[in-house]
Amino acid sequence: MTLDIVNLSGIVRRPLVDDAGDRIGRIEDLVVRLGDSPHPPVVGLVVRLGGRDLFLPARKIADLGADTIRFAGNRVDLRRFDRRQGELLLAKDLLARHLINLVGGRLITANDIVLARSAGSWEVVAVDPGRRPLLRRLLRGRGAAGVSRGGVVDFASIEPFVSHVPSAKLRIPYRKLAKLHPAQIADLVEAASHEEGEEIIEAVGEDVELEADVFEALDMAHQLEFLSSRNDVEAARLLERMAPDDAADLITEIDQDRRLSILDLLPEPQQHKVRSLLSYNPETAGGIMSPDFVAVPSTASVGQALEAVRVSSAPAEALNVVYTVTPRGELRGSAPIASLVRASAEVAMSEVCREQPAHVHPTWDLHRTARQMSDFNLTVAPVVDADHGRLLGVVTIDDLIELLLPQGWRRDFGMATVEE
C-alpha cells in the first residue's frame, strides 16, 4: 500500500481555492492536537482570509497532498482563530525551532515536518533536521515505519518545547526525560536556549534527586546561570541534594553576597561536609574528594560490610570499595565490592581486605592523584590524613577525569551541540 506523504514546507503559504478554482485565502499553518497518539493528528488549518486568520477544520479540506488545496465546505466561519489547550501550530511553534530527540538525548532543529495520511486523516509522522529544507525524495511511497531513514526522525521520539507557547498550557513530560541519563539531560540544557533549558529543568524538578543529578552534570557557567534565577532558599534546597564536593565547588563560584547566606541555609550534616571541603584547595585531592564512603571496623565480617553498603546513601561510584578502619578512623584495609559479594557472609573482613592499600593525601594536586590511581588501577582512591593516617574521603575516577579534561570539552566533542 502506498502512503501519501507531504512536507509542511510544501503546504504553508499555498493558496486555498474553492470548487471553481478561485483563490479564497492563503494557508498560514496547520493545527495539531497533542495527546496519547505518538503521531498527533492534524485537526485544522489556519487560513489568512481578508486580513484575518481563520480556523478551518481538517474535514473541510479536500486533500492536503493534492497539487491544488481545495476548500470542501459550504461556508467559512469568520471567527478569528483561537488556539485551544493542547494544540500546536506546526509552522509557528515547531518549524525551524529546537526539538528534543529522546533517542540519544540530543537537540535537533525542525527544518521540515513530515505528514502522512492514515485511515483518511493526516498526522505528523516525522521531523527532518537536515540542512535541506525539503524532505528527501527517497521517503516517497514509504510507510510510517520507514520515516526514520535518511536522517529523518520519527515524531514518536520527539518532544517539543512549549516555553514560547504559553497559551498551549503544555509542559515537557517528566516521565520521558527520566529515561535519559542525567548527563544526557545536562547536555540538552547546555545546547538549548535559556528558556528551553529552564523548561527542561522545570520538568525534571518533579524528581528532586534527578534535578540535583542534572545540575551536578552541568558545566559551571550553566549552573550559575540557572542558580541566579532562584532565591537563596531554593538554591540551598538544590545544593542540599547535590554531592558535597559538587556543592562545595558551586558555592565558591556564587556571588560573595549570597555565598554565606546559602551556606547557612544548608542542613547541618551537608553544611558540615561542604565547609570541610571548602578548607582545601579545589585543585587538590582534598578539594575533589567525597566525604561519603563506607568504612567498617577491622573486626567486622563481610556480611556486616555488605549491610553497611546496602544502607549507605553514598554515591554508587564511591561504593565500589569498602574500607576497614581502626577505632580512631585510621585506614587499615580495602576490599572491592566484588570480593565481598564472592565471599561468605561470616568471613572476617581482614581475610578479604588488602592491607595498607594505595592512597592519596588531601594536598596532592590532580596530576599526582591521577598518577597514583593509574599506577594502582584504582577507580576509587582513599584520601588519608598525612599526619595521622585517618580516612577523610575518597576520590572517584569520574570526578578526577571531569577536572582533567580541558574546559569546553563537551562542545569540542559535540556533546552539547544541536544534532543535524
- Give me the CATH number covering residue 337: 3.10.580.10
- CA-wise closest residue to 303 among 351, 353, 348: 348
Amino acid at 39: H
pLDDT at 37: 87
418 domain-assigned: no
Residues in contact with 255: Cβ distance below 8 Å, sequence separation at least 6, in sequence order: none
Contact 120, 126 (CB under 8 A): no
Q: How far apart are CA 93 and CA 366, in angstroms?
A: 47
CA angle at 168 for the pair 14 and 193, rounded to the nearest 5°:
90
What cell was used for 188?
A: 540538552
Residue 23: what are its φ and ψ, rounded to 5°? Answer: -70, 130
Residues 206 and 262 in one domain: yes
Tens-digit pLDDT profile for residues 301-347: 999 999 999 999 898 999 999 999 999 999 999 999 999 999 999 99
The model scores a pTM over 0.85: no
104 domain-assigned: yes
Contact 200, 192 (CB under 8 A): yes
Residues 131 and 164 in one domain: yes
Q: Average pLDDT in the 2-12 region?
A: 83
Tell me if residue 172 falls in helix, strand or coil. Answer: coil
- Among residues 248, 280, 312, the one where a domain terminates is 280
Residues 314 and 395 in one domain: yes
Residues 300 and 399 in one domain: yes
Residues 179 and 265 in one domain: yes
Helix-then-strand count for the chain, H and E: 16, 20
Q: Where is pLDDT greater, at 139 or 416? A: 416
Q: Where is pLDDT greater, at 82 or 212? A: 212
Look at strands 418-419 and 98-101 and give their pairing.
unpaired
366 domain-assigned: yes
Residues in contact with 271: Cβ distance below 8 Å, sequence separation at least 6, in sequence order: 263, 264
Residues 208 and 180 in one domain: yes
321 domain-assigned: yes
The pLDDT-based confidence of 141 (bands split at 50, 70, 90) is very low
Q: HSE on the CB side for 292, CA within 13 Å?
A: 20
Q: How far apart are CA 141 and CA 172, in angstroms?
A: 32
- Give me the CATH number covering residue 9: 2.30.30.240
pLDDT at 132: 62
180 domain-assigned: yes
Residues 355 and 373 in one domain: yes
Residues 165 and 179 in one domain: no
Q: Average pLDDT in the 367-394 region?
A: 94
Which DSSP symbol is given to 61?
B
Residue 406: what are its φ and ψ, rounded to 5°? Answer: -65, 150
- Asked if residue 139 has pLDDT above 50, the reply is no
- Count of domains in the chain? 4
Rg of the chain's alpha carbons, rounded to an integer? 29
Tens-digit pLDDT profile for residues 60-98: 888 887 878 888 877 777 677 788 888 899 999 999 999
Residues 304 and 382 in one domain: yes
Report the sign of the C-alpha dihedral through residues 202, 204, 207, 211, in that order.
negative
The pLDDT-based confidence of 259 (bands split at 50, 70, 90) is very high
289 domain-assigned: no
To the nearest 10°, the Cα dihedral for 278, 281, 283, 287?
-40
Q: Where is pLDDT greater, at 286 or 412? A: 286
Per-residue exposure over 337-354, b if at least 16 CB sit within 10 Å of its own CB, e if not: beebeebeeeeebeebbe
- Among residues 156, 174, 192, the one where a domain terminates is 174
- Among residues 174, 199, 228, the one where a domain terminates is 174
Residues 170 and 231 in one domain: no
413 domain-assigned: no
Residues in contact with 59: Cβ distance below 8 Å, sequence separation at least 6, in sequence order: 72
Q: Average pLDDT in the 25-32 region?
A: 93
Residues 55 and 104 in one domain: no
Residue 174: what are its φ and ψ, rounded to 5°? Answer: -60, -40
- Asked if residue 297 has pLDDT above 90, the reply is yes
Domain that holds residue 14: 5-90
The pLDDT-based confidence of 148 (bands split at 50, 70, 90) is very low
Q: Average pLDDT in the 151-165 region?
A: 86
CA angle at 308 for the pair 305 and 314, rounded to the nearest 5°:
125
pLDDT at 119: 81
Q: How far apart are CA 197 and CA 191, in angstroms?
A: 8
Q: Where are the alpha helices (H) located in 316-415, listed in sequence order?
A: 337-342, 349-352, 366-375, 397-404, 409-412
Inter-axis angle of helices 268-278 and 244-253, nearest 10: 70
Q: How far apart are CA 249 and CA 269, in angstroms?
A: 17
411 domain-assigned: no
Residues 274 and 322 in one domain: no
Q: How far apart are CA 394 and CA 290, in angstroms?
A: 5
